[in-house]
Structures are given as structure tokens and as C-alpha cells.
Amino acid sequence: MKDSADKLNEVWPYPAVQFLRGEIDEPALLKLATDDDKRTEARCFLGMDHALKGRRTEALAHFRWVKEHGTASFIEYTIALAELERLERSPERPKR
């Protein structure tokens, strides 16, 4: 069985899949996010990635961008706002 990513071509949202698979880095993903709709998705994914890796400051920056500039009708907008609220409520933990 083929990986679902093999069914996608190089157009959006494939770069987001490539980022999540570790095939491209953050600057490359942001460069490929050429409008606010794509940036909403990309910055939500980037924020989630940073949050999962314990990089709170970086996650907050991406989620705040989505809140201020993102496409409000996208599910990623809703996710980013919920994560922003969660991170702002929780105390910062020291990195290990």
C-alpha cells in the first residue's frame, strides 16, 4: 500500500506534509505558504510542532500570527486560538 503523501503532488498542502515528515524545514515551509490561507495552515502546524517540542515562545509567536492575520474560517485558525489560550494559561516550564 502506498503512503498517502505519494498521492499528493507538489502543490499545497504537500509542503505541509513534507514539513511534518521532516523533509523540509520551517523557512522552506513559510516560503511556500504564498498567501494568508496557506500561512494560516503553515503557522498552525509550525506552532503545534514547536509546542510539542517544548518551544513555547516559538509556538506562541506562530499562534499569535494566526490570531492576528489568519483566515478565521479555517479549522487551523480555531486550533491555533485554542492552543494560544492553553499556552498562555499554563506556566512556562524550564527546558531540560
Q: What is the DSSP string of 60-92?
A: HHHHHHHHHHS-TTSHHHHHHHHHHHHHHHSPP
Q: What is the pLDDT of residue 93?
A: 63
The model carries a pTM of 0.85
Q: What is the pLDDT of residue 91?
A: 79
Q: What is the pLDDT of residue 96?
A: 54
Q: What is the pLDDT of residue 21?
A: 94
pLDDT mean by block of 10 residues, the chain; 96 residues: 56 94 97 97 98 97 98 98 96 63
Listed by start position, the domains of the chain span 10-89
